[in-house]
Amino acid sequence: MTAFMDKDFLLTTDVARKLYHEVAADLPVIDYHSHLQQGEIAERKTFRNIAELWLGGDHYKWRLMRTAGVAEEYCTGERSDKEKFLAFCKVLPLAIGNPIYHWSHLELRRIFGIDLIINEKNAEAIWEQANARLAGMDTWTFLEQAKVEIACTTDDPADDLLQHAEIAQSALKTRVLPAYRPDKAMRINNPGFVDYVARLAEVSGVQITSFATMMAALANRVGYFHERGGRISDHAIDIPLPAHAATPEQLEAFFARRVKGELLSDLEQSQYLRGLLENIGTVYAKFGWTMCLHIGAMRNNNQRMLENLGPDTGFDSIGDMSTSNGLVALLSALDASDQLPQTMLFNLNPAMNEVLSTMIGNFQDGSVAGKVQFGPAWWFNDHKLGNLNQILAFGNHSVLGIFVGMVTDSRSFASYPRHDYFRRLVCRQFGEWVAGGEYPNDFEALSTIVRGICYENAKNYFKL
């Protein structure tokens, strides 16, 4: 019987074990998509205890706790930090098969050197030992301990990035770069849209009176981000894109109506979003950026809890919208004018794995390896089977050796062991292929692919 999460955790063959321990385990991390807060890095934030680190803002754990019957007061409510932590430890053993069970134990071991099983019996000892170690740690500690070479935050186009400048001038070994996330400009029906346009005009110095001038302001901010190290944009595609683009005149009419206070129909919103992406995509191409599209989330589904707690608190799920026709139309329109930037397609619905892993082959032009990429297993797909299925789909339909690897997609500085989890699964799959006679036992060739997927490909692809 294999010991629980021992040094060979998830590694089922001799080849997998050799690849992981000799090649993958100690590679630096390039985290090209996270939700870490630049301010918490700049100020070297410390954490008062493990509950703040693990449960503060972590909607993954809140969702697990609620599902296990834990009252909201122990998740986002008024209970003490220790009470919340003890409640989490009590129910975590019920989450057999959930990646949070594995992630939490990896974090406990790799960050704190604590080998205890997380349960109600051990909760007090874990609380004391972890907090004792946390007393000498800050956000820099987590980044440097995890060998994070580059971390990209997620930033609004209107952000001044001043704290990024502080970080760049500091002694932190990790390079922290901004990534451009124009959600507030994309979500035209949101209540704050008109106010946001005014804010964007102020920071860009562009008087925004039309759709065209709004796009000029967004382009201005791409240049601002580029000067400060930005090379990646990120877009949440939560509604289906239309197969037929709106005309410039229609886009101007949509914008004019919205700034006067009128809301757009569902179709008009999708046409507006398509127009924005097509316009800003040409800007990314000009600057040599990568455009990341996160497709298929249904966000903030519980209206009562949205009103009580706000967005991003654990009430999201997978959407089953049809995206293929509109997405292909967007990419084809950019490609037609030779202005398709490097693009990554992140998929939340596993039913779309084969759709997107084949779609990327439509738009390769030999200019760069994997110009259009099938992104790593994301959010509800980020578990053992989800990662393996993503690897298999990529391998079945594309060239797996050019894959740019994993991201944390997390707000937590404790999340970096997820890269270790991913690397173990990559090595596991490679070992299975060799064991099955599907790939030669050529350690040099396998090592080259593993180093690429786990580190080198991302560095080259994003020009970091």
40 and 24 in one domain? yes
Residue 406 sits in which domain range? 14-47+137-461
Q: What is the per-residue pLDDT across 190-208, written as a single tens digit (0 to 9) for each?
A: 999 999 999 999 999 999 9
Classify residue 347: in a domain, yes or no. Answer: yes
Classify residue 308: in a domain, yes or no. Answer: yes
322 pLDDT tier (thresholds 50, 70, 90): confident
Secondary structure letter of residue 299 according to DSSP: -
Residue ending a domain, choose from 92, 121, 136: 136
- Which H or E element spans position 185? helix 183-186
State the pLDDT at residue 297: 95
Classify residue 380: in a domain, yes or no. Answer: yes
Classify residue 90: in a domain, yes or no. Answer: yes
Do residues 305 and 77 touch, judged by C-beta distance below 8 A?
no
Question: How far, in Å, CA of 301 to CA of 251, rounded?
Answer: 29
Sort strands 148-152 and 29-31 into parallel, antiparallel or unpaired: parallel
pTM of the model: 0.96
State the pLDDT at residue 323: 82
214 and 108 in one domain? no
CATH value at residue 130? 1.10.2020.10
Question: How large is the average pLDDT for residues 411-425?
Answer: 97
Beta-carbon neighbour count of residue 26 at 10 Å? 8
Beta-carbon neighbour count of residue 35 at 10 Å? 17
260 and 144 in one domain? yes
Classify residue 25: in a domain, yes or no. Answer: yes
**Helices 417-435 and 384-397: crossing angle, nearest 10°?**
50
445 and 398 in one domain? yes
The region, left, alpha or beta by phi > 0 then psi within -120 to 50, assigned to residue 138 is: beta
285 and 261 in one domain? yes
119 pLDDT tier (thresholds 50, 70, 90): very high
Sort strands 232-237 and 175-177 into parallel, antiparallel or unpaired: unpaired
Question: How far, in Å, CA of 267 to CA of 252, rounded?
Answer: 15
Instruction: Look at the alpha carbons of 383, 386, 389, 395 in this order and tell me if their dihedral is positive or negative.
Output: negative
209 and 99 in one domain? no
Q: For the chain, how many residues are written?
A: 464
Question: How far, in Å, CA of 23 to CA of 435, rounded?
Answer: 19
445 and 403 in one domain? yes
- Which H or E element spans position 317? strand 317-318
Residue ending a domain, choose from 136, 156, 185: 136
How many independent structural domains does the chain possess?
2
227 and 108 in one domain? no
Is the pLDDT score of 1 beyond 80?
no
Residue ending a domain, choose from 114, 136, 158: 136
CATH value at residue 434? 3.20.20.140
21 and 53 in one domain? no
Burial of 57 (0-12, 13-18, 19+ CB in 10 A): middle
**Six-digit token string for 187:** 């979500």
